[in-house]
């Protein structure tokens, strides 16, 4: 009888598998700025050859780990190919997986292999441990992959005590990729784009056009930069000014103060979507309908039910 495993809830997953490896055991191979550029899919090796996996996609796998495993970089082997476009850095994917301690060979935890409650991960090393991202990246929907991950790209000096993973332990992921979640992408804002003027200190004044507020997420690039491209999950340094379409009043801004830094996942959905795909040095303006801002209920938030316009200067990404 298979012993009962601690099953991670979605909330626990987000905490346990975030980028928490601590000090790496070896120099990090992660690129500076946005990590999206010039990425190479992790390949198979001696580590993945020592992991035997049987079972059907979408069901709990039967796995034998020839422990202890030692690797210096994440290794990835495709067990079931899947179909369609592969997952790219910055994509959001829905998966089921089982996590093993690669040093002891023991199973640590798993999702419940119910598509309705699958885990959802953003493939960004600023958001989740690098080895998990490298394991899933390049995989197609319907794929089953195995990743063998060194501690420096997993839980490092912290370990994961609740799941019997100690400091320095290698880990193994067996992942079923269920779906690549389509991203929210603003449409081009071409008609009725607000006028923007700046004073001598660079503080903008945004003049909205007359008429009803747009009902979809729209964005215009007022000036295109030539720096790193923002990927979903990146931490972005920026200046911004927010104006309510309904009142015409500025409700918040960083201009005249200090720039702000947010992950694209830490802001309202429409704001985050406006950042993704833009280059550092760009100035954009976005109009966000209530359902992609603070909701449609004025009782739930002071900006509830309002369409918001943000002028954004993108200054840096991931500390660059």
Cross-strand pairs, 287: 218, 309
Cβ neighbours of residue 200 closer than 8 Å, sequence gap 6 or more: none
Asked whether this chain's domains 10-181 and 187-317 adopt the same fold, the reply is yes
DSSP for 55-120, please give it: S-TTSPPEEEE-SPP--SS-EEEEEE---SSPP-TT-EEEEEEEEEETTT--EEEE----GGG-EE
Per DSSP bridges, beta strands 119-122 and 195-198 are unpaired
Q: How far apart are CA 243 and CA 238, in angstroms?
A: 16
Per CATH, the number for 187-317 is 3.10.50.40
Correct CATH for 10-181 of 3.30.1300.10, 3.30.70.3340, 3.90.105.10, 3.10.50.40: 3.10.50.40
- Helices of type H across the chain: 10-16, 46-49, 130-136, 269-275
108 token code pair: 């640590």
Rounded to two decimals, the pTM is 0.86
Please state the domain extents for the chain. Answer: 10-181, 187-317
Per-residue pLDDT of the chain (320 residues; tens, 9 = 90+): 233 344 444 445 455 666 554 433 333 333 334 555 678 999 999 999 999 999 999 999 999 999 999 999 999 999 999 999 999 999 999 999 999 999 999 999 999 999 899 999 999 998 899 999 999 999 999 999 999 999 999 999 999 998 999 999 999 999 999 999 999 999 999 999 999 999 999 999 999 998 999 999 999 999 999 999 999 999 999 999 999 999 999 999 999 999 999 999 999 999 999 999 999 999 999 999 999 999 999 999 999 999 999 999 999 998 87
């Amino acid at each position: 009888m298979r012993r009962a495993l601690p099953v991670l809830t979605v909330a626990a997953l987000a905490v346990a598998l975030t980028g928490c490896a601590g000090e790496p055991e070896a120099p990090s191979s992660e690129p500076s700025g946005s990590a999206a550029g010039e990425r190479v899919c992790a390949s198979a090796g001696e580590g993945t050859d020592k992991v035997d996996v049987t079972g059907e996609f979408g069901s709990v796998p039967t796995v034998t780990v020839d422990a202890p495993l030692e690797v210096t970089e994440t290794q990835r082997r495709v067990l079931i190919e899947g179909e369609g476009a592969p997952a790219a850095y910055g994509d959001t994917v829905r998966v089921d997986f089982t996590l093993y301690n690669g040093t002891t060979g023991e199973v640590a935890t798993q999702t419940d292999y119910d598509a309705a409650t699958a885990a959802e991960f953003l493939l960004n090393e600023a958001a989740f441990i690098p080895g998990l991202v490298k394991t899933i990246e390049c995989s197609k929907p319907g794929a089953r992959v195995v990743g063998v991950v060194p501690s420096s790209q997993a839980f490092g000096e912290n370990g994961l005590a609740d799941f019997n993973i100690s400091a320095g332990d290698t880990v193994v992921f067996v992942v079923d990729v269920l779906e690549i979640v389509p991203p929210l992408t603003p449409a081009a804002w071409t008609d009725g784009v607000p006028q923007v003027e700046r004073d001598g200190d660079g503080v903008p004044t945004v003049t909205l056009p007359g008429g009803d507020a747009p009902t979809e997420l729209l964005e215009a690039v007022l000036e295109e930069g030539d720096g790193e491209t923002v990927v979903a999950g990146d931490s972005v340094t920026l200046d911004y000014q927010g104006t309510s379409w309904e009142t015409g009043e500025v409700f918040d801004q960083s201009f005249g103060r200090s720039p702000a830094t947010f992950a694209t996942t830490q802001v309202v959905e429409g704001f985050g979507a406006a950042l993704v795909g833009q280059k550092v040095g760009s100035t954009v303006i976005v109009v966000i309908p209530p359902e992609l801002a603070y909701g449609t209920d004025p009782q739930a938030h002071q900006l509830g039910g309002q369409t918001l316009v943000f002028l954004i200067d993108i200054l840096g990404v991931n500390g660059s």
